[in-house]
Structure 1
Amino acid sequence: MDTLDLKEQIVNDDKIEEILEALGMHHINSNNGKYITCGMPDGDNTKSTVVYKDNLHVDAYTRNIKDAYGFTDIISLVSFVNGTYHTESVKWICDICGYDFYGQNTRKSRLADWVRDMWKVQKDGSKEDEEKLTPIDEKMLSYYGQYVTDMFLKDGISYQTQKEFGLGIDLLYNMITIPIRDELNFLVGVKGRLFKDEIDEWESKYFYIHSCAKSKVLYGLNKTKHYIKEKNEVIVCESEKAVMQLWTMGIKNAVAISGHILSSTQAQKLTYLGVPIVIAYDQGAEIGKNGKIDKNFYPNEFNKFLENQEVYVIYDKSRKILKEKESPSDNPKKWVELYNSYKYKVRG
């Protein structure tokens, strides 16, 4: 659910006290018409926290509950108290209020639509794809089973990693299947890779067997959130394969954007992790279809983040380490060299 939609629904349905009670806040007092006062679950001050009823802004006088964007609202309060990632906090609120996190909801305010649309224009110059991220039936994975392949083993993905990421086989289309899960671990799509080494020019190596709103997903985040926090860093790759290659190397703090251009939603999800971001795209990601280098490609990617967001890029300036279209994760020795000697700070 969109956070603006969620906030609007909470206000309209008068759900603030219900959320605060479930959160474990104490001495909840809503006698004042404009705001609610309460105390933190582990605090003695009965009025340390103020929640404004009209916009859900929160003043927490004894705690710093600001999120990565500097917001102090009902969602950042939940994240602080529960120790959860932004999306997990939104899902928790939806569960408490009886809302469908993935469902379509009716927007009641034209102003909210206008604010949302203006924000998108400011972020990337156009409205982001409105395709909804929707869970699909887990049972369909039983059709593909769980199999490991020598093809992916040769590509640097161990049998154990293949098992952990749930790879299977589609016998009808002769494809390796890759379950796509969102950060809450719900199955939202299935991607296939043709099960053959030589790919004809007219063939696509990868395509979605069960499509999903890929611009809304950071592949691997369901498994790597803990390690990202532990390492205080998230590595951003293009492909699902790269995440699994790094996992095999013991590098478990990576995600993939399933493409080579960050969406606004993906940039937000990365920012909410609250850690430095390392962009590790394939060699030649900045080369356009015309074969020419787009000098604005990487700056455009970096500008999708806040100015104070710490961002790095792994980039083979010499063009002597990586071959064209080679991923930094394809070769463990190259990865070590690139990470240690070719990681440049570009923001924050």
Structure 2
Amino acid sequence: MEAQELKERIIIDEKIIDILEALGMHSIKDKGNYITCGMPDGNNPKSTVIYKDNLHVEAYTRNIKDAYGHSDIISLVSFVNNTYFTESIKWICDVCGYDYYGQEVPQSRLAAWVRNMWKVVKEGKCDDDEKLLPINEDILHYFGRYGNPLFYKEGISYETQWEFELGYDLYYHMITIPIRDELGFLVGVKGRLFKEVVEEWESKYFYIQPCAKSKVLYGLHKTKPYILEKKEVIVFEAEKSVMKAWSHGIRNTVAIGSHCLSDTQVQKLTHLGVDIVIAYDEGVEIDPKTGKVDKNFYRKEFDKFLPSQKVYCIYDKSKKILDKKESPIDDIDKWYRLYNEYKFKVRG
């Protein structure tokens, strides 16, 4: 469920007090247009004010603002429960009896009024129409859980293949890569054709079970503790890169499953509250017409983040390290050289 949709439902269903009670807030008083209460570990019974018409929160004794500067019911839950923002949304859904992956509530005049009041402007990004939905876990029993020599040869250990639940589809003759969201729910299955040499007419990758890939940071359900510990997230393109890095003990990574970031992925990265290192494959930033670096492409990627967000880029400036279309993590020796010598700060 999107944050905006959730807040609309909370307002319409009058669930604010239910959330505050479940959160452990004390001295909860309904004052008409707003609600006052105290923090679970505080003595001031009026330290926190929640406005009922927009869920804005004034926390006079704590800084509950999230990475975007929002101070609302979701950031309050994140602060008190010490949870990632999507974990906070899921927690609120559970408290209110909502389905986190459910369909949007039918629009009412009140919902339309709330949306108009917030003046929400959507930029028409490609991922906004995709809805992330869980799929039945039982499908993984069909694919099994198998290591494969093809990925092992590419640098992904059998232990890592088991950790990331790789399997095999006998019908399509494909390695199966389960796609989970940051909450650990299965949301898709990606297939990789099981052959080293792929013909031009063949699809090397395709989704055996469709997935709203632009709303997923692959691997985050496993790598988030390491990201928070390192205070840095390394962003790769391909899921295999996350597994290769994991095999070498580099576990503060995610993959976007594409060549560019979606709005949702940018939001999820920003909410981690850590430095971001973009590590795309060699060749993505090359203008095919001129053979030169397409600075506009990278600039567009970096401009998706907040001006204050620290963003770095792994870029083979020497043009002597990476081969064409090679991922920075494909060769671990190359990776350490790139990370130590060619990591450039581009924002923040």
TM bin (shorter chain): over 0.9
Aligned to 1:196: 195
In 2, Cα distance between equivalents of 1:161 and 1:144: 17
Aligned: 1:35 with 2:34 = yes
* Correspondent of 1:120 among 103, 122, 133: 122
Q: Mind listing any 5+ residue stretches in structure 1 that lack a counterpart?
A: none
TM-score between the two structures when normalised by the length of structure 2: 0.96
Deviation at 1:205, TM superposition (A): 1.0
Deviation at 1:113, TM superposition (A): 5.2
TM-score between the two structures when normalised by the length of structure 1: 0.96
In 2, Cα distance between equivalents of 1:336 and 1:212: 33
Aligned to 1:321: 321
Aligned to 2:112: 110
Aligned to 1:262: 261
- Give the counterpart letter for 1:150 in structure 2: P
Say if 1:191 and 1:207, in contact at 8 Å, map to a contact too.
Answer: yes
Deviation at 1:155, TM superposition (A): 0.8
> Where in structure 1 do 4 or more consecutive aligned residues deviate above 2 Å?
106-120, 125-129, 287-295
Same amino acid, percent of matched pairs: 66
Q: Mind listing any 5+ residue stretches in structure 2 that lack a counterpart?
A: none
Say if 2:176 and 2:190, in contact at 8 Å, map to a contact too.
Answer: yes
Aligned to 2:297: 297
Deviation at 1:164, TM superposition (A): 0.3
Aligned to 1:243: 242
What root-mean-square deviation, in Å, do the aligned CA atoms of Structure 1 and Structure 2 show? Answer: 1.6
How many residues of Structure 1 are paired with residues of Structure 2 in the alignment? Answer: 344
- Partner deviation per Cα, 1:43-89 (whole Å, 9 max, x = no partner): 11111111111111111111111100001100000000001000000
In 2, Cα distance between equivalents of 1:115 and 1:225: 35
Aligned to 1:210: 209
Say if 1:4 and 1:116, in contact at 8 Å, map to a contact too.
Answer: no
Structure 1 counterpart SS, 2:234: strand
In 1, Cα distance between equivalents of 2:117 and 2:265: 20
In 1, Cα distance between equivalents of 2:289 and 2:182: 35
Structure 2 counterpart SS, 1:134: coil
In 1, Cα distance between equivalents of 2:107 and 2:343: 44
Say if 2:310 and 2:347, in contact at 8 Å, map to a contact too.
Answer: yes
Deviation at 1:128, TM superposition (A): 4.0
In 2, Cα distance between equivalents of 1:249 and 1:167: 18
- Partner deviation per Cα, 1:111-134 (whole Å, 9 max, x = no partner): 55568895332xxx6464311100
Say if 2:125 and 2:263, in contact at 8 Å, map to a contact too.
Answer: no
Alignment of 1:65-84 (within 5 A): 65-84=64-83
Alignment of 1:137-216 (within 5 A): 137-216=136-215
Deviation at 1:280, TM superposition (A): 0.3
CA 1:115–1:258: 2 relative to 1, 3 Å: farther
Say if 1:190 and 1:209, in contact at 8 Å, map to a contact too.
Answer: yes
Aligned to 1:287: 286
Structure 2 counterpart SS, 1:222: helix
CA 1:136–1:116: 2 relative to 1, 3 Å: farther
The range that moved more, 5-14 or 108-117, is 108-117
